[in-house]
Homo-oligomer: A and B are copies of this chain.
Amino acid sequence: MDDSIYTSYPPQLTPEQKEYLVGEVKNWALHHGLAVKPPPTFIPKESDPVGVLSSNAPVTLFPSPFPRSGYESAVAVQTTYNKLYAAISSDEAWLGKIIEELVEADDFIANLWKIHVRVKEEGYVQPLSLGLFRSDYMVHTPQGSTAPSLKQVEFNTISSSFGGLSSLVSAMHTDFLSFPPENPITYPAHPILKDNVPPDNSAVATLTGGLAAAHEAYGPSKSSPALPLCILFIVQDGERNLFDQFELSTRLTKFHEIPVFRVTTKDVLKSTSIPSTNPSRPLIYTPLHAPSVKFEATTIYLRGFYGPGDYPDETGWDARTHLERSAAIKCPSVLSQLSGCKKVQQILAEATGPDHLAHLLSGTDPKLVSQVRETFAPQYDLSVSGRGRELALDPSTAATHVLKPQREGGGNNIYRESIPAFLRSIPEKDWKGYILMELIQPPTTAKNMMLRSDGQVLSGHVIGELGVFGTILWKDDGEVLHNDQGGWLMRTKGKDSDEGGVAAGFSSLDSILLV
């Protein structure tokens, strides 16, 4: 695929075509639950105090072209990536050394590490861990290169979201491309759109398959008398992205026939308990509205507790500790969450020194190991003097880099020319809390149109980010019980916007057409 494919895409819309397409998108989205709670900037809380409104998730009107080779290589390495991060989480010595370097510079990492240390002292009672992972990539097309390659932006080990809504966007674009079967009329004619649909998107089946595998592996109730078993989704109060989560919980209850309950981070200590008399430490769930009923949680799936905002005071940390010491299978455990630190990614990518990747993936087909390695973008340590600091402090080299803290999620990165001044504004001892990554260079001429959640239609040059979902269930001795990949997420943002948080509304959910 060369860049020229983008120049005529997407097709121009007449006013009638635009009105029709926008109408189809909003109707399809609301009918199928491709939705979010409307942003407060659009509908203030006082206009809808009970919260009965939804609006379309921010979505592109057209699917985006994506190089087939890149998509296929991302899919091909996903189960190896799963194994890699399971191995990192199981290698406490290796991971602990990295984390202990970070605790000085990052309170959040320090507090998470404290939880692990404390539970380890008491003794973990659950040897199994579950990962629902998403590896995010951009197409890299540096000037003068002959073929695009795929470079990893980040690897998400906690609250990897949008599997549900992403599947729906694929289904929506597929419907538009193929309705009616012989004479599709939703889009104007265009060579890229002709007889083409997005690749199968099995994100919901893959992610729920992982949760169901954990539920099964938990075994019988550890309570006496035995309690009915369930999965808990630990969610944020006021979550706007809940329809994404419902795609997973509905499939778990309907297809896997596993009860799922939602518990907000602030209700964890109120509605769950661990009987002090039971050394197996089962996590007992008692619904706040039905206090006479008890379930035992086999698996806790965290869609909260991933960032500092979910720990407004000490009870947040107490709640996370409480979950960590329980017998429930954690998705993720504290160690698995910490394995997603940017510092880990940077160390794996180091071109010199020990070959951590080969060590962690020992026993894996070397071809797969090198395929994983090819996805690494150049990235640098800032803890000591050296190449990283040189690149970061010189404005001319900083211009092609991004500075990342350990945090997941958008909004925390420092870009390009802002890097030197930012670093000089914080104590040098805190620099090790960041890593420097060379910016990936996506195609510059890609365009799309998007319908925001507030109804605004935007169009212009865009940058896409492809996430591939995987799930793995492993034992602390390294044994892997379930390792699967399937499904993907395409996020497309305006080219001028450096951050990619879809829920914030300056970025869209998309799907892909392989070219």
Give A contacts to B, CB under 8 Å: 14, 16-17, 19-22, 26-27, 30-33, 35, 38, 43, 47-56, 179-183, 185, 188, 228, 230, 242-243, 246, 250, 253, 257, 259, 287-290, 293, 295, 451, 453-457
Contact = CB atoms under 8 A, between A and B. Distances in A.
A295 B179 CA distance: 13
A349 B196 CA distance: 59
Contact of A289 (B20, B54, B55, B181): B20
B290 A27 contact: no
A454 B49 CA distance: 9
A38 B22 contact: no
Given A19-B289, A290-B17, A455-B51, A257 B31 contact: no
A422 B88 CA distance: 82
A239 to B, nearest CB: 11
A180 B230 contact: yes
A43 B53 contact: yes
B31 A250 contact: yes
Contacts of A54: 30, 35, 53-55
Contact of A52 (B17, B19, B455): B455
A272 to B, nearest CB: 15
Given A27-B246, A43-B43, A48-B455, 11 more contacts: A14-B289, A17-B290, A20-B288, A21-B289, A30-B35, A50-B457, A53-B54, A54-B55, A180-B230, A183-B295, A185-B293
A179 B262 CA distance: 14
Contact of A47 (B47, B181, B185, B457): B47
A295 B182 CA distance: 11
Nearest to A185: B290
A290 B54 CA distance: 30
19 contacts: A17-B289, A20-B288, A20-B289, A20-B290, A27-B242, A30-B243, A31-B250, A38-B53, A43-B48, A52-B55, A52-B451, A52-B454, A53-B54, A53-B55, A180-B259, A181-B259, A183-B228, A183-B259, A185-B293
Given A30-B243, A35-B30, A181 B257 contact: yes
Contacts of A38: 53
A246 B31 contact: yes
Contacts of A188: 290
B27 A288 contact: no
A20 B287 contact: yes
Among A35, A49, A228, which residue has the most Cβ atoms of chain B within 10 A?
A: A35
Among A17, A22, A48, A53, which residue has the most Cβ atoms of chain B within 10 A?
A: A53
A243 B32 CA distance: 10
A453 B52 contact: yes
Contact of A50 (B250, B257, B288, B455): B455
Nearest to A28: B246
A267 to B, nearest CB: 11
Nearest to A17: B289
A14 B290 CA distance: 10
Contact of A33 (B14, B32, B47, B179): B32
Contacts of A246: 27, 31
Contacts of A180: 228, 230, 253, 259
A56 B48 CA distance: 12
A51 B21 CA distance: 14
A48 to B, nearest CB: 7
A449 B486 CA distance: 43
A26 B51 CA distance: 8
A22 B55 CA distance: 19
Contacts of A26: 50-52
A228 B52 contact: no
A64 B21 CA distance: 41
Contacts of A453: 52
Which 3 A-B residue pairs are closest in the complex by CB-CB distance? A50-B455, A180-B259, A20-B289
A56 B52 CA distance: 6
A453 B185 CA distance: 34
Contacts of A48: 43, 455
Among A50, A228, A456, which residue has the most Cβ atoms of chain B within 10 A?
A: A50
A2 B170 CA distance: 52
Contacts of A17: 289-290
Contact of A259 (B32, B50, B52, B179): B179
Nearest to A13: B289
A494 B456 CA distance: 39
Nearest to A48: B455
A230 B295 CA distance: 51
